[in-house]
Structure 1
Amino acid sequence: MGRLPEGETAPADGALPQGTAVDAPFGVYVHVPFCSVRCGYCDFNTYTADELRGATRAGYPADVAAELALAGRVLGALGPVRPAQTVFFGGGTPTLLPADDLVGMLAGVADAFGLAEGAEVTVEANPDSIDAGGLARLRDGGVTRVSFGMQSAVPHVLAALDRTHDPARVPQVVAWASDAGLEVSLDLIYGAPGESQDDWQRSLDAAVAMGPDHVSAYALIVEEGTALARRIRRGELVAPDDDAQAAMYEAADATLGAAGYTWYEVSNWARGDRVARHNLAYWRGHDWWGFGPGAHSHVGGVRWWNVKHPAAYRDRLLAGASPALAREVLDDETRRVERVLLESRIAEGLPIALLDDEGRRAVAGLVAEELVDGRAALAGRVVPTLRGRLLADAVVRRLLP
């Protein structure tokens, strides 16, 4: 699992600096760090049953409730508490917890902050970790959206990723979710060892045939310390090929575009207004509080992150202390740079006015090289073209010389 960043020690009471701005839109992320098995490519902060060392799934909602109480006190000391515009239960596999536990934690969020009218509430789920009854219970409890980890429709690709679900179950859970009145997102991964272009097209076609509201497609990244990285290093599997992944991205954009989906962030497409608002809030630099072990938060230019292990998280809260391990207070220039990094990836674009003189001069060259949309640039915004999305990191390096 990836290391936490370094930073200054966070205060034991979790207090934020006086004067921290609390006027941006606010969201909530709840990390549910449990998985039945660990996928070979995953470096997320997740734990199987034999890795919990005293922490329990059954006790987890009470742990989150304790951090919710702390968050209410911390934010309340800075000004009026903002209602949550979005709530996202991620993991891990949130649906390894009973639906009633997830609904109860959502009620805790509503009690602590309130929910804005029309708030988006998303739960991630593996296709084999939820049934029709559980999905209906989530919808009745206030969840509006479910995001299924489909990854692929091809059995040998799922096996390379150590995914255990039956791909034939995905259409069933999508139908159940739709029948329950939930918006549906499907998450795909491309570039797995042994995945051909035809395999990827098969997965895209299968996803489109299910008619989800939203599709995410992420290039496989081989993270150090994962089982996948070790297998590649031993020569058991072939590392992802950059050119093949680029072709797969182009296939995704073409297939999804033809099916009525529009890209709004480099790796995300939606029908109509069904964008993942919580996801988009990160790219827009909004505020959020992340609950749970290893969760990250950002409020008014202050970023912090919690201790990683569920037992350490619980122990700090039981002692009346904040679970935050460390934090950093961002200066104006760092916040500007981060806005360039984030907003240059989304369809609404980055205001050219945020760039320094050299960055603004670079825009004309990026337009000439068809990496940035010329019409948007004339209107004062940097919006990547399809080629620019494929070379997003190179675009950012030109904008931040």
Structure 2
Amino acid sequence: MGRLPDGDAAPADGALPASAATGAASRDLGVYLHVPFCRVRCGYCDFNTYTSTELRGARQDDYADQAIAEVRLAGRVLEDLAQHDAAVRRPISTVFVGGGTPTLLPPGDLARMLAAVRDEWGLGPGAEVTTEANPDSVDAADLRALADAGFTRVSLGMQSVVPHVLATLDRTHDPERVPRVVRWAKDAGLAVSVDLIYGTPGESLDDWRRSLDAALSYDAGHLSAYALIVEEGTALARRIRRGEVAPVDDDLHAAMYEAADAALAGAGYEWYEVSNWARDGAVSRHNLAYWLGHDWWGVGPGAHSHVGGVRWWNVKHPAAYAQRLATGLSPALAREVLDEGTRRVERVLLETRIRDGLPTEALEGAARAEVAGLIADGLVDGAAAVRGRVVPTLRGRLLADAIVRRLTAAD
């Protein structure tokens, strides 16, 4: 698993500087609840997750109470910060429970975690409340219980329907189960997102089209398609290094992305972020808040947070996380206060990935002049630029990093 970044030591009580309150009324506040448990570690995964044999001093059945303790701590920290601007204590717009596999916890534990968020801050009107789930980790009764507890949305980790692709990824679910889970979720009144991964070693373009066709047949409102990135330190990286599987092919990645965009557009989906498509406005408001630079508190081991230009991250291991909370300390390990230059670069990095784009007025003079060259190179939409927005074309989405490099180098 990747190491946490460097930063300044976080205060033991988790207090935030007064600067974090500035402009709070213009930003939404979300909560990310990290559940760091998995039955099996997938070979490509670099997330901060643990199987039962890796917990070493932590207990899965104690976790909900620990997460609730951090929610309470977060409430106290934001209450203190609200002395500088009362808007800091606003209702929660979105909650996202991710992992790991959150639904390895009983629905009652997830319900208690959500209830703590509701009790501490309140949920805003129409709040979006999502949990991730693997197709083999939930049944119809679980999904009904989650809906009854206030969840509004489930994000299903399907990844592929092709057996040899799932085997390479170390995914254990039966592809035939996915449509049943989607139906159960809809019957419970939950919105559904289906998550796919493309570019797995050994996956052909026909394999990918087969997974796309299957995902589209489920009639979910939202679909994510992520290019496989082979992270150092993962089992898949070691297999590639030993020559057991082929390395990732960048040209095939591009062809797969183009195939996804064409198939989804033909089925009535619109892209709203490089890796995400929605129909009938069913965007993930929680993820969109990240790309727009809003505030969120990340609860759980290794979780990252951002409030008003202050970013911090928690200790990684569940046992260390539990120990900090048990002794009344914040689980935050380190943090950084972003300066204006860093915030400007991050805004370019994030907002050039979304369909609404980056306002050209957010660019300095030299960077603004660079937009014409990006249009000429087919990376930025000319009509959108006339309207004052930097929006990537399909080619620009494939080369999103190039757009960022050129705009930030000219800054």
The two structures have a TM-score, normalised by structure 2, of 0.97
Name the residue aligned to 2:203: 195
Please give the alpha-carbon distance, in whole angstroms, between the structure 2 residues aligned to 1:151 and 1:372.
30
User: How far is the alpha carbon of 1:20 from its aligned partner?
Assistant: 1.9
Matched to 1:93, the amino acid is: T
Give 1:213-362 correspondences, 5 Å limit: 213-362=221-370
From 34, 39, 47, the equivalent of 1:44 is 47
Please identify, of 141-150 and 356-365, the stretch whose mean Cα deviation from structure 2 is larger: 356-365
User: How far is the alpha carbon of 1:137 from its aligned partner?
Assistant: 0.4
User: How far is the alpha carbon of 1:19 from its aligned partner?
Assistant: 3.4
Name the residue aligned to 2:122: 114
Name the residue aligned to 2:79: 76
Matched to 1:31, the amino acid is: H
Name the residue aligned to 2:382: 374
Please give the alpha-carbon distance, in whole angstroms, between the structure 2 residues aligned to 1:287 and 1:71.
13
How high is the sequence identity, in percent, across the aligned residues?
71
Q: Is the 8 A contact 2:139 2:181 kept in 1?
A: yes
1:53 and 2:56 matched: yes
Q: Is the 8 A contact 1:19 1:78 kept in 2?
A: no
Kindly report the root-mean-square deviation, in angstroms, between the aligned alpha carbons of the 2 structures.
0.6
1:178 and 2:186 matched: yes
Please give the alpha-carbon distance, in whole angstroms, between the structure 2 residues aligned to 1:66 and 1:244.
46
Please identify, of 97-106 and 20-29, the stretch whose mean Cα deviation from structure 2 is larger: 20-29
Please identify, of 201-210 and 13-22, the stretch whose mean Cα deviation from structure 2 is larger: 13-22
Please give the alpha-carbon distance, in whole angstroms, between the structure 2 residues aligned to 1:194 and 1:20.
47
* Structure 1 segments unaligned to the other structure (5+ residues): none
Look up the SS of the partner of 2:236 in the other structure.
helix
Matched to 1:25, the amino acid is: D
* CA displacement, residues 355-375 of structure 1 (integer Å, 9 cap, x when unaligned): 122211110011111110101
User: How far is the alpha carbon of 1:333 from its aligned partner?
Assistant: 1.2
Please give the alpha-carbon distance, in whole angstroms, between the structure 1 residues aligned to 2:262 and 2:18.
49
User: How far is the alpha carbon of 1:65 from its aligned partner?
Assistant: 1.1
User: How far is the alpha carbon of 1:69 from its aligned partner?
Assistant: 1.0
From 25, 32, 35, the equivalent of 2:35 is 32
User: How far is the alpha carbon of 1:110 from its aligned partner?
Assistant: 0.4
Please give the alpha-carbon distance, in whole angstroms, between the structure 2 residues aligned to 1:76 and 1:332.
26
Matched to 1:16, the amino acid is: L
Look up the SS of the partner of 1:360 in the other structure.
helix
Look up the SS of the partner of 1:2 in the other structure.
coil
Matched to 2:9, the amino acid is: T
Matched to 1:35, the amino acid is: C
From 131, 134, 139, the equivalent of 1:126 is 134
Matched to 1:214, the amino acid is: H
Please give the alpha-carbon distance, in whole angstroms, between the structure 1 residues aligned to 2:20 and 2:298.
17
Look up the SS of the partner of 1:85 in the other structure.
strand
Please give the alpha-carbon distance, in whole angstroms, between the structure 2 residues aligned to 1:198 and 1:18.
54
Please give the alpha-carbon distance, in whole angstroms, between the structure 2 residues aligned to 1:47 and 1:194.
27
* CA displacement, residues 146-201 of structure 1 (integer Å, 9 cap, x when unaligned): 00000001011000100000000001100100111100000000000110000000
Please give the alpha-carbon distance, in whole angstroms, between the structure 2 residues aligned to 1:61 and 1:400.
42
Look up the SS of the partner of 2:306 in the other structure.
strand
* CA displacement, residues 62-106 of structure 1 (integer Å, 9 cap, x when unaligned): 101111111001001111311110000000000000011101100
Look up the SS of the partner of 2:206 in the other structure.
helix
Name the residue aligned to 2:216: 208
Name the residue aligned to 1:62: 65
Please give the alpha-carbon distance, in whole angstroms, between the structure 2 residues aligned to 1:259 and 1:331.
43
Name the residue aligned to 2:158: 150
Look up the SS of the partner of 2:248 in the other structure.
coil
Please give the alpha-carbon distance, in whole angstroms, between the structure 2 residues aligned to 1:149 and 1:44.
14
From 145, 165, 179, the equivalent of 2:173 is 165
Matched to 1:67, the amino acid is: E
Q: Is the 8 A contact 2:19 2:308 kept in 1?
A: no
Please give the alpha-carbon distance, in whole angstroms, between the structure 2 residues aligned to 1:19 and 1:46.
33
Please give the alpha-carbon distance, in whole angstroms, between the structure 2 residues aligned to 1:356 and 1:154.
47
Please give the alpha-carbon distance, in whole angstroms, between the structure 1 residues aligned to 2:331 and 2:383.
47
Matched to 1:20, the amino acid is: A
The two structures have a TM-score, normalised by structure 1, of 0.99
Please give the alpha-carbon distance, in whole angstroms, between the structure 2 residues aligned to 1:158 and 1:166.
9
